[in-house]
Amino acid sequence: MSTRVQDIVHQYILSEKDISLSWIASKLYISPRTLQRKLAKENINFSDILDKIRCDISINKLVEENIRIDSLAELLGYTDSAAFSKAFKRWTGSPPLQYIKKNGHHKA
């Protein structure tokens, strides 16, 4: 089930601003609680899947595509760049600009 959820999140994360457990469950034609139980059987939860995909996309777009932090925050559905930066630091251990300095180039 986690693979199906990952596929849906990947497909819609950049176009759908409010991806939630309920939204994903509706795409799978199951209840949110059933989705939670199925993911729990795989020892994973929805927020972990969403965080992993957001982290992967963020790293790629910041380092490889040179996207601005505020643009990326908006693209991934964050209310502002500060909320995104806090999440990015939780994922990687470094704020976005520090991560970029260590791992690639970035425009201001």
Residue 76: burial class (beta carbons within 10 Å; 0-12, 13-18, 19+): buried
> Do residues 25 and 34 make contact, with C-beta atoms less than 8 angstroms apart?
yes
Q: Quick one: pLDDT at residue 105?
A: 58
Type of residue at 64: E
Show contacts of 44-53: CB within 8 Å, 24+ apart: 44/2, 46/5, 46/21, 49/2, 49/5, 49/6, 49/9, 50/9, 50/19, 51/87, 51/90, 51/91, 53/6, 53/9, 53/10, 53/13
How many CB atoms within 10 Å of residue 5?
A: 23
Q: Quick one: pLDDT at residue 64?
A: 85
| DSSP letter assigned to residue 28 | T
- Main-chain dihedrals φ then ψ at residue 78, nearest 5 degrees: -80, 150
Written as tens digits, the pLDDT of the chain (108 aa) is 999 999 999 999 888 878 999 999 999 999 999 999 999 999 999 999 999 999 999 999 998 888 999 999 999 989 899 999 999 999 999 999 999 888 865 544
